[in-house]
Amino acid sequence: MKAPEARSPGGEPTIDDVAAAAGVSIRTVSRVLNKSPKVNENTRKTIEDIIDRLNFKPSRGARALAMRRSFLIGLVHNDQNALVLDSIQRGIARVASPNGYELVVHACPDQDDAVIDDVLAFIDRSRVDGIILLPPVSGVPGLPEALDTCPVTAVALSSIPIEGFAGVVLSEERQAGAEVARHLLGLGHRALGLVNGPEGVASAQERRTGFLGEIANQAGISLAETSGDYSFASGVLAAEELLSREPRPTAIFAANDIMAAGVMKVAATRRIAVPGQLSIVGFDGSILTRMLTPALTSVLRPFGEMAASAAGQLIARIEGNAAAPTMPHALELVPAESTGPAPA
């Protein structure tokens, strides 16, 4: 005759009783209760049978406690661009708040070798149910594998596909870089300048690859190239270098709006007319483009839409629901006053 299942004092079965009877951890039982895909089918069936046999009915509070549910979502980044971060936070909040979740923002260190420990410590401290990772943090090698050991779901924003996260929201930045080149070539520019982003950062590599790929087979093109770190100061230094060369570029593509603003400042200081003598293009399509004079031509990245998509995916997976697949977000070049025909 089969021995009765053990029960905790008090008679009512608990999640500990289910875990003990199944020979698994409480976390595994919690995942079954919340329909997590992280449990194999045999284990799931065993636990469900024991739940039925014990007539275990978890209370909402007990279930939340067992899952360490905090109804908090973490936004993890090391981005210094406050304009971009504001759009992203608003996009996440637009989806999170109606679903009962709050946002916790965490800034990581710049050094890749410190990021993994920092993110794991943040998760442990904050007890978030899931995290959204922004580039370049999302591209740190080994991070998806490290997060797989944590009881959180992670969704990443990225310019390139990344394996190991529950979901990835992609932006097509290589195609956008090519569109910038087509725009400048179409205006007759043949002496081009490029202020690239930080070496080793995927977004910078994608923008550069698209831009250079488009001009590679064009005859009579000269290219002066340097790089910055996405900061205003680095844009100023890069412009000082490019605008001191002979022949001087008639058009400069800066890999983000803030560096483009630095280029515009140097042009003004040197009394180089924009766009009469120099066309300038940025990247991000932030509110900064409308604050500058002349208004900056830029590639619009729909940060709010992308962040809302990431939040929707994350909440669906936290709650054990199927998350709709997301298509890569196409980016749009928005011409403005800072670009014009090449000077004669």
The domain spans of the chain are 15-67, 72-171+303-329, 173-301
Contact in structure between 327 and 169 (CB atoms under 8 Å): no
Contact present, 334 and 281 (Cβ < 8 Å): no
The pLDDT value recorded for residue 15 is 81
CB 164 within 8 A of CB 148: yes
CATH level 2 (architecture), domain 72-171+303-329: 3-Layer(aba) Sandwich (3.40)
Residues of the chain with pLDDT under 50: 1-4, 60-61
Strand partners, 74: 104, 131
Q: Which residues contact 269 (CB under 8 A, 6 or more apart)?
A: none
Give the number of C-alpha atoms closer than 13 A to the C-alpha of residue 34, restricted to the C-beta side: 29
- Inter-axis angle of helices 26-33 and 41-54, nearest 10: 90
For the chain, how many residues are written?
A: 344
Q: What predicted TM-score, i.e. pTM, was given to this entire model? A: 0.77
Which CATH code for domain 15-67?
Answer: 1.10.260.40
Q: Give domain 173-301's CATH superfamily.
A: Response regulator (3.40.50.2300)
Q: How far apart are alpha carbons 59 and 33 in whole angstroms?
A: 11
Please measure the distance between the N-terminal and C-terminal CA atoms of the chain and give it in whole angstroms.
97
- Count other Cβ atoms within 10 Å, centred on residue 100: 8
CA distance 122 to 108: 9
**Can you give the pLDDT at residue 344?**
82
What confidence tens digit (pLDDT) does each residue in 165-220 have?
Answer: 988 999 999 999 999 999 999 999 999 999 999 988 899 999 999 999 999 988 89
What pLDDT is stored for residue 2 in this prediction?
A: 43
Alpha-carbon span 320 to 315, nearest angstrom:
9
Q: Is 4 helix (H, G, I), strand (E, B) or coil?
A: coil
Q: Report the C-alpha gap between 199 and 74 in whole angstroms.
A: 27
Report the DSSP pairing between strands 153-158 and 167-170: parallel
Tell me, what amino acid is at 218? Q
Q: Do domains 72-171+303-329 and 173-301 have the same CATH topology?
A: yes
